[in-house]
Amino acid sequence: MNLSLVIPVYNEEESLPHLHQALHAALDNLGRSWEVIYVDDGSGDGSLAALEKLAAEDPGHVMVVELRRNFGQTAAIAAGIDHARGEIIVLLDADLQNDPADIPMMLDYIDQGYDVVSGWRKSRKDNFATRTLPSRIANGLISVTTGVHLHDYGCTLKAYRRDVLTGFRLYGEMHRFIPVYAHAVGARIIEVTVRHHERKYGKAKYGLERTLKVILDLVTVKFLLSFANKPIYLFGGAGIGLMVLSVLTLIYLMLRRILVEIPVLTSPFFLMSVMFFILGFQSILMGLIAELLVRTYHESQHKPTYTVRRVIQRQDALTSIIPVNES
């Protein structure tokens, strides 16, 4: 299987037949084998029936994964990826806002050797105040914080080579951070502008509150990427900083005592100094506990602390090490 499309579906019954038609129109003449995995994320309307119908009519291309309840878009995407069999995985929304006609162009980039082709809704057709503007701010923040410079993390339409999608799990609203994870394992990323349409059927599922979640997710992702392997650098750094602050405060108090005879013990600065010391010490201990957790994580699951793109070795060198059975 060459290509798997993963599409999360939550109450999109009217869009589905149009979407499926558009997929055929875009993909049938490419000479690639493809499948589409519709993940029904606990829809309450006729979406599941519509999907069952598609699966019955087009069994060669359609797989439907029905989740037991609504788990959210990210979880639905993760479920779809777990069921996908293609070398290339393309994610898109079910609401016809993404245009399947962009997919062939994205696949060309994958063929050129890119691991991630990230769609950018340059002229986005969503409510400006509640969606487009907050999303611009969030995108700017993500770009600066993670060092992976894209304009549109939130656009679902993206194509991935399968091997950059392994090795991490998606939580919360984190599907938008897949390119960031992929970058961390060394993926080659390119951004392309894609079409974006207004929603014709159904309702948008998100509003302003999503931006807050995205920013909290960003803190998590940044922490995981920068310190997940060496948490003591963060906790220990903060701890040492606090202890230095504590000592400086104490020196200040001592000097005041000697020079202008202000008593040390009754000063609020003394309390601060003691607090800084305790906090700093605690922080270092927390860092050590985190180091234990990291070791448990890597060693219990045999997770390497690196990723290999490929190993180059001549074939005859290999056979001289591993004796081949001649029969």
Q: Which is nearer to ligand UDP, 109 or 153 (CB)?
A: 153
Q: Which is nearer to ligand UDP, 72 or 134 (CB)?
A: 72
**Please, what is the minimum distance in Å from the beta carbon of residue 221 to ligand UDP?**
19
Mapped onto helix, strand or coil, the DSSP state of residue 320 is: helix
Q: Which does 94 bind (CB under 5 to 8 A by kind): ligand UDP, Mg ion, none?
A: ligand UDP
**Please, what is the minimum distance in Å from the beta carbon of residue 202 to Mg ion?**
9
Q: How far is CA 2 from CA 19, 34, 37, 61, in A?
A: 20, 6, 14, 12
- Which stretch in 43-51, 70-78, 96-104, 259-267 sits in contact with Mg ion by CB under 5 A? 96-104
Say what the alpha-carbon torsion angle 160, 170, 133, 143 is, to the nearest 10 degrees: -70
Q: Which is nearer to ligand UDP, 115 or 191 (CB)?
A: 191
Q: Which does 10 bind (CB under 5 to 8 A by kind): ligand UDP, Mg ion, none?
A: ligand UDP
- Does 97 bind Mg ion (CB under 5 A)? Our answer is yes
> Which residue type, as a one-letter code, is found at position 145?
T
**Please, what is the minimum distance in Å from the beta carbon of residue 95 to Mg ion?**
4
CA dist., res. 95 & res. 225, Å (int): 32
Specify the long-range contacts of residues 49-58, CB closer than 8 Å, at least 24 apart: 49/13, 50/13, 50/16, 50/17, 51/9, 51/16, 54/16, 54/17, 54/20, 58/20
Q: Which does 277 bind (CB under 5 to 8 A by kind): Mg ion, ligand UDP, none?
A: none
CA dist., res. 270 & res. 51, Å (int): 68
CA dist., res. 230 & res. 233, Å (int): 6
Q: Which is nearer to ligand UDP, 47 or 283 (CB)?
A: 47
Specify the long-range contacts of residues 149-154, CB closer than 8 Å, at least 24 apart: 150/118, 150/120, 150/179, 150/189, 150/191, 151/120, 151/122, 151/191, 152/118, 152/119, 152/120, 152/121, 152/122, 152/191, 153/118, 153/177, 153/179, 153/180, 154/214
**Please, what is the minimum distance in Å from the beta carbon of residue 120 to ligand UDP?**
14
**Please, what is the minimum distance in Å from the beta carbon of residue 8 to ligand UDP?**
3
Mapped onto helix, strand or coil, the DSSP state of residue 119 is: strand
**Please, what is the minimum distance in Å from the beta carbon of residue 198 to Mg ion?**
9
Q: Which does 146 bind (CB under 5 to 8 A by kind): Mg ion, ligand UDP, none?
A: none
Q: Which is nearer to Mg ion, 161 or 210 (CB)?
A: 210
Catalog residues that contact ligand UDP under the rule CB under 6 A. 8-10, 12, 41, 70, 72-73, 76, 93-95, 97, 204-206
Beta bridge partners, 191, equal 118
**Please, what is the minimum distance in Å from the beta carbon of residue 5 to ligand UDP?**
12
- Does 156 bind Mg ion (CB under 5 A)? Our answer is no
Mapped onto helix, strand or coil, the DSSP state of residue 38 is: strand
- Does 74 bind Mg ion (CB under 5 A)? Our answer is no
Residue 28 neighbours by CB distance under 10 Å: 11
Q: Which does 205 bind (CB under 5 to 8 A by kind): Mg ion, ligand UDP, none?
A: ligand UDP
**Please, what is the minimum distance in Å from the beta carbon of residue 27 to ligand UDP?**
18
Q: Which is nearer to Mg ion, 131 or 183 (CB)?
A: 131
For Mg ion, the binding residues (CB under 5 A) are: 93, 95, 97
